[in-house]
């Protein structure tokens, strides 16, 4: 099968959908690869590295003309026009974007959005959301350390002792837990909160203190358990109690990292404008949900997508694509996710063999459209 890997063209996107490691494995199985010239440059992978494992370097048209196209982000209109009917497209295609799904269907494609994979043990190795969230959590702490004008660890010097930075992490999913682990390595004092009761043990096992918002009703306890590995929107009464507790902790924090994001929904507001107004000058907020809320906001209403906002001396950082800031490792992990997914739809003879929806829950969940017919409905 001829597989194409085009250069990602969305602003700020530096990742690539296949690395020499995964290309070599697939060529060994009998596939041919056409890599657009420069596709891996942003991830520190030169064309020569692909050529060394047997890939062919070509133009964008060459890559899009393949039988299967591997992408990081969903194709833009100009890219979509270059993909011929009958092509199989694999990438992070935003399964909640009905317009994009309709556009891919009208082009006659069979498209798989890897973000839609279920959170099951069998699907772990192809969980792109987790692999990229891990990187986002790490990079969030590194950006915070760069923007914060003091030390992270406690230091004892000849000129006196410097206190350790206090970090508050809101949301303890994959990104939040990685942020805790990274901040701990840098010597910070960490507190973290999450809706889900199961998160308490995970937070404490990494050396952070759990900020506990008590449940007052059975309904709150039931909703807090979440569904499919994700939190569910909590009742207004609980959100008010959480806001009060977060405000109290945020006023003492030097850095706040907000990571709460539920696929297909607008992010919850966890750090209110009134709370930011009471934070210490020089404090830093990193909002991993930037760009997903109203006017480019995220978990904080003051956040603006891809901007650093100064709110009364508090820096609010709204980068929307942190994994692209660690493009080499982000691409390596993503490419392995893609490779493992491809095993489900390609047989031992290196031919496309998409199983029926009833036979494979992962393939069924990721399938957006097939042979020009939209399959997913939101």
Indicate which residues carry an active-site annotation: 119, 124, 127, 130, 230
| Cβ-contact 63, 36 below 8 angstroms | yes
Burial class, 87, CB count within 10 angstroms (exposed 0-12 / middle 13-18 / buried 19+): buried
Beta bridge partners of 192: 169, 210
| Cβ-contact 86, 371 below 8 angstroms | yes
Q: In sequence order, which ranges of the chain are alpha helices (DSSP H)? A: 20-28, 47-51, 60-64, 77-80, 98-106, 128-147, 174-185, 199-205, 218-224, 236-252, 273-277, 327-345, 361-366
Tokens matching residue 174: 């994959």
Judged by DSSP in three states, 161 sits in: strand
> In which residue are the tokens 């760009």 written?
291
CA atoms of 322 and 138, how far apart (whole Å): 9
**HSE toward the beta carbon, residue 114, CA cutoff 13 A:** 31
**How long a stretch of residues is the chain?**
378
- Beta strands 284-287 and 314-317: pairing type? parallel
How crowded is residue 227: how many other Cβ atoms within 10 Å of its Cβ? 10
Q: Which residues of 334-371 are buried (b: 16+ CB within 10 A; e: fewer)?
A: bbbbbbbbbebbbeeeeeeebeeeeebebbbbbbbbbe
| Cβ-contact 256, 271 below 8 angstroms | yes
């Amino acid at each position: 099968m001829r597989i194409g890997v085009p250069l990602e063209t969305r602003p700020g996107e530096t990742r690539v959908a296949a690395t020499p490691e995964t290309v070599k494995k697939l060529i060994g199985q009998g596939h041919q690869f056409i890599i657009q010239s420069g596709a891996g440059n942003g991830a520190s992978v030169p064309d020569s590295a692909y050529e060394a494992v047997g890939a062919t370097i070509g133009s964008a048209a060459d890559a899009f003309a393949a039988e299967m196209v591997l992408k990081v982000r969903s194709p833009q209109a100009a890219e979509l026009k270059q993909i011929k009917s009958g092509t199989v497209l694999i990438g992070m295609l935003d399964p909640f974007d009905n317009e994009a799904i309709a556009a891919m269907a009208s082009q006659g494609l069979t498209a798989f959005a890897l973000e839609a994979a279920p959170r099951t043990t069998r699907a772990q190795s192809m969980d792109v959301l987790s692999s990229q969230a891990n990187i986002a959590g790490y990079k969030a702490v590194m950006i915070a350390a760069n923007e914060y004008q003091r030390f992270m660890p406690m230091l004892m010097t000849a000129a006196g002792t410097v206190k350790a930075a206090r970090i508050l992490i809101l949301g303890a999913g994959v990104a939040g837990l990685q942020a805790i682990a990274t901040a701990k390595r840098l010597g910070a004092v960490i507190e973290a909160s999450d809706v889900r009761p199961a998160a308490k043990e995970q937070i404490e096992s990494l050396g952070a203190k759990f900020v506990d918002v008590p449940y007052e009703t059975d309904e709150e306890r039931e909703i807090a358990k979440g569904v499919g590995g994700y939190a569910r929107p909590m009742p207004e009464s609980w959100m008010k109690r959480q806001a009060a507790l977060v405000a109290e902790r945020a006023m003492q924090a030097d850095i706040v990292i907000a990571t709460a994001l539920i696929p297909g929904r607008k992010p919850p507001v966890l750090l209110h404008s009134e709370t930011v107004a009471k934070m210490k000058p020089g404090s830093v907020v990193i909002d991993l949900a930037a760009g997903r809320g109203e006017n480019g906001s995220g978990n904080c209403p003051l956040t603006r997508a891809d901007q650093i906002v100064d709110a009364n001396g508090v820096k609010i950082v709204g980068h929307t694509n942190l994994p692209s800031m660690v493009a080499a490792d982000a691409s390596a992990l993503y490419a392995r996710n893609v490779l493992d997914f491809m095993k489900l739809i390609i047989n031992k003879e290196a031919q496309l063999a998409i199983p029926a929806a009833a036979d494979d829950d992962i393939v069924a969940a990721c399938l957006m459209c097939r042979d020009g017919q939209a399959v997913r409905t939101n």
